[in-house]
Structure 1
Amino acid sequence: MVKLADQVVALRGKVFELVNGDSAITFPNERFGPERFREIYSHPAARGRSEGAGLSDLFWYWLSPGPEVHQEHLEDGPRYDDVARATLRILSGPSDRLADMATRATAAVLDGFGGGLVRLRDLMMPVWAEYCYELVFQESCPREARDLIVGHANDVVTALKCTGLRHMGRRNRLTRYLAQRLGDVPHELPASLSPREQVHYLQGTFFNTAVVQLSEGMAHVLLALAQHPEVQERASEGDDRYLSHVLDETMRLYPLFGIAHRITKGEITLDEDTTLPAGSVLCFSYPAYHATGYEDPERFDPDRWEALSAKDAHHIPFGIAANRPCPAWRLAPLAMRASLKEVLRRFTLDSTVEHTRSLPSRGPCLLVPHGESVSPTRMRAIRTFLRVRDRWEEVWRSFVQLGLGTWMVLDARHRRLAGRYFAESPERTSSCPLPNSLPPSSSR
């Protein structure tokens, strides 16, 4: 059963590689290992984001509507700078206030949950919908808005994981809501964007990427604790230093980004025999980089960070500071720590499912309220149920991902959202062919 699922996953990878159309160079690789990773990622010429890569058509397709104004996919220039400044303004604030917002958002959702079996990503998504709404509008999130945000964010991440198709009607309902509320946003929005583009900017940056990534991150943290009771017990004490180690170790083993791709805007000389021309598509593998430089890297061990500095280790959960880092690098850890404390204050977690970086299962887990007990016999039955169901789901989900993933990649290539956008732009530049000195690799 598991072997069949693995074979289908491998086949899906081959399909993505064949139909994607990019001959990308992935780092680290055999010639340029982890010791060169940050240097190449940080190179001033490696800052192109969307123009010139077939892979961009796929990401724009998944992130519609509004990928052309999504901060992560804007090219460098005045518009990117304007948008980046607006994002930082919205994400800024005193640490205590930002943490308190996360505690309140978590409590508001958990007050309506009495424990039991749950998918952790599903449990956490309303939390971060409320949180991001308050960041943007500086007021409590009404239930109507929360439902629209969750529906939109869940649709995006489901499509990204190829477990479901896009539903643009669901996404457009949030667009219409935000268009009606645009005048209520108390922040200075990017002046370089039209009102419609400002709506798409808010929808993509805060109610898509922020909600999805925070929900995924919390699902990983909670599932790791559910499977490491000794770590969970220590984390329940609420020590911020130890909780930071837990977050660092979780993001090391299960980075939210699999691969970040960049397009070179100028030549990059790697050594005397290898120069990457402008237009090269570079893929930076977070999981591969995070697996180097550690003793027993596959083991979940928050204590390793007692002797490690995150800035010196092979650890880039929020990207590289010199090349378009995640703007939530400060906010996310403090908000997640606050939310984690609130969850652990209420529940004990337990799970026997497979924990993978992509987490297409959404993190099935048992949450037992403090003060309640589960008999050993019932606990064994629940653990067995979770384990068996997870393995069977992996089989059928593999086929679903193969079919839907292939269809969406082909549809994205047909629509060519990014390619057509830049073809119509007067600032469009032509891409150069990839060098022959390095072997092409999959850009997925």
Structure 2
Amino acid sequence: MLIILLAGAALLAGLASLPWWLPDRIVALRVRVFERINGDEGIPVPGDLVGIEHFERVYAHPAAGGRSKGAALSDVFWYWLSPGPEMHQEHLEAGDVYDAVARVTRRLLAVRRAEAEELARRCAGRALRDVRGLVRLRDLMIPLWAEFSYELVFAEPCPRRARDLITANAADVAASLKCTRLRHLGRRTRLTAYLLRNLHRVRLPLPEGLTPRQQAYYLHGAFFTTAVVQLSEAMAHLLLVLARHPGVQERVRTGDDHYLDQVIAETMRLYPLFGIAHRITTGDIALDEHTTIPAGSVLCFNYPAFHHAGCPDPDRFDPDRFAGPGAKRLNHIPFGVAANRPCPAWRLAPIVMRVVTREVLGRYVLDSSVPHTRSMPHRGPCLLTPRGAPHRPGPALAYLRVRDRWEEVWRGLAQLVLGTYMVWDARRLRLCERHFTSDGSDGPDGSEDRYARPGSRHGS
């Protein structure tokens, strides 16, 4: 009997200890599996060949402008963004189509500051109505930016049906990118169908020379996937930072926009939205008289490594880094490099993020006790306490801390299994490679629909 009791106690102790050691082991295993599947294709930047001193010069080089063609790594990105990745502005190769699409994107984003602020304020007011208690920040933000993006494109209030379609698609993309859930193609194709029926209502002419389906794919990828996901992720990072740093939160609440800008900049330094941006060289790039990067190389630009390099105590959150002239010496490219496909919302995003942050802080006190990582697979658990209400976050924070520890166990296992499957499936389907070797016979109207529809093995 004593042996049984000891064995039972040992088993319970082992189970209780899982959250404190298993997640790190799973992450390490997942990295090894992904490296095995993806292979050793890219040149890391910064790395042994391209040092940190060459990062921005190489990124901005005209020959570093290839995006998808010629890189097996592109198959993975196309997989997560299909159907329609061949019309996504970030994945189009340079040329007439890219220029036409980029021009329309700039025009749709070129709203007056006062209009953008008022639109963000309205959308925030609707999204925050009657919200309180424990929330997931990314889930809270996605409907807000779904409505915001809809009104940017259509210049009319966002119908409930459209908001639900955009929200479901964005949540699906975000979850599959974090490898916590398989892709749900039905959500994506329903949004595409909605856009096809409503192209005539877009407030500006869409890129000429594209079929209606291509135009729908363009809107789907640029405005209702990337814009919604990235703005939601950026705001979740920002609000989680404020929740974990009460002194910074109070200073933002009572301070001016200059300090808030410093907080946004430091948040995006520590938690850049892009981990690795890959580019394919279209010509040779000479680093010096002895070293040349040959044409056709896949350059993997590491944003977190660049942001950390040369920064004192780089893992510490310190908005005052951006307070003085020393800020200009920091390695900081939150929206990319101007000479090579920068984020088209580089001007608009900080403006509307300020407004939404003010709206949140005007209503709530934020608290959180969960770890904060760049990938943020937990979606940003946070306690929102209405201002003026009793503020006793202790029990909720203790609960959050324990709950997240245990969730990390199943979440890590899910990421290992689902992530391995999706990366393998992307390699098997070769979406990008097949597109560029189809000699034009498999265009956007046929290729993606044929092997990426609901019920197919492609992420079904």
Task: Give the TM-score range, shorter chain.
Answer: over 0.9
TM-aligned CA deviation for residue 148 of structure 1: 0.5
Q: 1:105 aligns with which of 99, 104, 123?
A: 123
User: Which amino acid in the other structure matches residue 105 of structure 2?
Assistant: T
Residue matched to 1:408: 422
Distance 2:250 2:292 in 1: 51
Question: Corresponding residue for 1:23?
Answer: 41
Matches within 5 A, 1:179-218: 179-218=196-235
- CA offsets, 1:137-179, max 9 Å, x none? 0111111111100000110111111000011111111111111
Which residue of structure 2 aligns with residue 64 of structure 1? 82
* Code of the aligned partner of 1:408: M
Mean CA deviation greater in 21-30 or 350-359? 21-30
d(CA) in 2 for partners of 1:116, 1:308: 40
Kept in 1, the 8 Å contact 2:54–2:287? The answer is no
Q: Deviations over 1:79-119 (max 9, x none)?
A: 10100000000000111111111111111111132x10000
Say what the alpha-carbon RMSD is for the aligned residues: 1.4
State how 1:377-416 maps to structure 2 within 5 Å.
379-416=393-430
Structure-1 separation of matches of 2:32 and 2:324: 40
Matches for 1:142-291 after TM superposition, within 5 Å: 142-237=159-254, 239-291=256-308
Of 48, 61, 66, the residue aligned with 1:48 is 66
TM-score scaled by length of structure 2: 0.90
SS of 1:73's equivalent in the other structure is coil
Whole-angstrom CA distance in 2 between matches of 1:20 and 1:280 = 15
CA drift at 1:276: 1.6
Q: Determine if the alignment matches structure 1 residue 132 to structure 2 residue 149.
A: yes
What is the identity, as a one-letter code, of the residue corresponding to 2:404? D
- Checking the alignment, whether the CA contact within 8 Å between 2:321 and 2:327 is kept in structure 1 is no
| Structure 2 alignment gaps of length 5 or more | 1-18, 442-460
**Paired AA for residue 119 in structure 1:** R
Alpha-carbon spacing, 1:309–1:184, altered in 2? closer, same or farther (3 Å)? farther
Query: How much does 1:31 deviate?
Result: 4.7
Q: Secondary structure at the match of 2:66?
A: coil
Write the letter of the residue equivalent to 2:118. Answer: D
1:418 maps to which residue?
Answer: 432
3-state DSSP class of the match of 1:226? helix
Identity of aligned residues (%): 61
Provide the C-alpha distance between the structure 2 equivalents of 1:169 and 1:92, rounded to a whole number of angstroms: 32
Give the partner amino acid of 2:399: F
**For residues 59-98 of structure 1, what are the structure 2 equivalents within 5 Å?**
59-98=77-116
Residues 309/417 of structure 1: CA separation in 2 closer, same or farther (3 Å cut): farther
Kept after mapping to 2: 8 A contact 1:2/1:395: no
CA distance in 2, matches of 1:307, 1:343: 28
Q: Distance in 2 between matches of 1:372 and 1:56?
A: 50
Cα displacement string for residues 345-404 of structure 1 (whole angstroms, at most 9, x for unaligned residues): 0000000000000000000000000110134xxx22211111111111112111110100
| 8 Å CA contact 1:121, 1:362 repeated in 2 | yes
Most deviating of 292-301 and 65-74: 292-301
Q: Which amino acid aligns with 2:134?
A: L
The 10-residue stretch of structure 1 (150-159 or 17-26) with the greater mean CA deviation from structure 2: 17-26
8 Å contact 1:24–1:282 — kept in the other structure?
yes
For residues 146 and 309 of structure 1, do their structure 2 counterparts lie closer, same or farther at Cα, with a shift above 3 Å needed?
A: farther
Where does residue 441 of structure 1 map in the other structure?
Answer: none
Q: How many residues align?
A: 423
Between 1:87-96 and 1:29-38, the stretch displaced more is: 29-38
**Structural mapping, 1:340-351, within 5 Å:** 340-351=357-368
Q: 1:309 to 1:425 in 2, by over 3 A?
A: farther
Q: Which amino acid aligns with 1:387?
A: R
Q: Report the AA paired with residue 425 of structure 1.
A: D
Distance in 2 of aligned mates of 1:373 and 1:139: 39
Native 8 Å contact 1:46 1:263 kept in 2: yes
Alignment match of 2:138 (pick from 121, 129, 146)? 121
Question: For 1:6-21, what aligned pairs fall within 5 Å after superposition?
Answer: 6-21=24-39
Deviations 1:247-275 (A, max 9, x none): 00000000000010000001112233322
CA distance in 1 between counterparts of 2:416 and 2:255 reads 42
Report the TM-score when normalising by structure 1.
Answer: 0.93
Q: Classify 1:130/1:238 alpha carbon distance in 2 versus 1 (closer, same or farther; 3 Å).
A: farther
> What corresponds to 1:431 in structure 2?
none
- Cα displacement (A) at 1:309: 6.4
Measured after TM superposition, the shift of residue 238 of structure 1 is 5.1
Q: 1:131 to 1:310 in 2, by over 3 A?
A: farther
> 1:238–1:341: 8 Å Cα contact kept in structure 2?
no
Residue 315 of structure 2 aligns with which residue? 298
